[in-house]
Amino acid sequence: MSLNIRPASRDDAALILRFVTELAIYERAEHEVKTDAAGIAPACSPKMPAPSR
């Protein structure tokens, strides 16, 4: 089994939202998710700088 880590693209926004929502459901905090795929998509832009560590 191989694992490929890559930058997210705008096409990944719906999947990322699904991950966030599933985690929120698990944490009993679904009401805290205040975005949709369109809100996540700009953060997936290759023009956004990587977060500093």
Residue 13 C-alpha from the chain's centroid:
6
The stretches in the chain having pLDDT less than 50 are none
DSSP string across 1-53: ---------GGGHHHHHHHHHHHHHHTT-GGG----HHHHGGGG-TTSPPPP-
The model's pTM:
0.78
pLDDT at 45: 77
- Cα–Cα distance list, 24 to 8, 13, 34, 37, 44 (Å): 20, 16, 11, 15, 20
User: What's the pLDDT at 17?
Assistant: 98
* Domain ranges for the chain: 10-44
